[in-house]
Structures are given as structure tokens and as C-alpha cells.
Amino acid sequence: MNRVAEPKKRSRFIAEAVRQKIEQKEKEEMEKLLVEGYQAAAKESLATTEEFEIADLEGWDDYQKRNRKAAQKFKNKNRPDPDTGQASTHQAYR
């Protein structure tokens, strides 16, 4: 200890070392609690997701069909007219 702290500064050196050790322990404990909390929240979130899975998938086939139709209309809308070569906006909604 004499190598790192002068004789008159030993008390301050020891107090600082103890303070740093306490802060380190508190930080480790907080990190442990955070990990436990995140893991618990993840389990709860997964359980909620599984609970509502059926409701989430309800009507999914209809939704996909509507979106396919809308995408096809958009594609046709932007396709050039074979006669004029220009995009026809009014034909897509017929």
C-alpha cells in the first residue's frame, strides 16, 4: 500500500477504494435486476402474443386477397396503353 498511497493519504485511498467497490457491486446488482426484468417481460410478451394469435390471423386470407387485387390494379394503372403508349389512369378502376 505504501507504493500507491503516501502515508498521510492512506485513509483517503482506502475510502475511495471501498466507495468504488460498493459502486461496482451496486451496478452489478442493478444489471442483474434489469436482466431478470427483461426476461420476465419477454415471457409475458410472448404469452400475450400467443394468446392473441388466433385473433391476429382472423381475416388474414381476405386481407391478402384484397391487397393482391389492389396491387394488380396499381400495376395495371401504370402499364402503358398499347395504342397510345401512355399510362392509363382511368382504366384501372373499371
- Domain co-membership, 72 together with 54: no
pTM beyond cutoff 0.75: no
Cell numbers found for residue 72: 394488380
pLDDT value of position 71:
77
Contacts of 74 (CB under 8 A, 6+ apart): 92
Cell numbers found for residue 34: 434489469
- Domain co-membership, 42 together with 71: no
pLDDT value of position 78:
65
pLDDT value of position 85:
64
Determine the structural domain holding residue 64 and report its residue range: 59-94
- Domain co-membership, 22 together with 43: yes
Counting the structural domains of the chain, the total is: 2
- Domain co-membership, 5 together with 36: yes
Confidence of residue 35 (pLDDT cuts 50, 70, 90): very high
Cell numbers found for residue 82: 398499347
Contacts of 86 (CB under 8 A, 6+ apart): 80
- The full DSSP string for 15-29 is HHHHHHHHHHHHHHH
What does the alpha-carbon distance between residue 21 and residue 16 come to, in Å, rounded to a whole number?
9
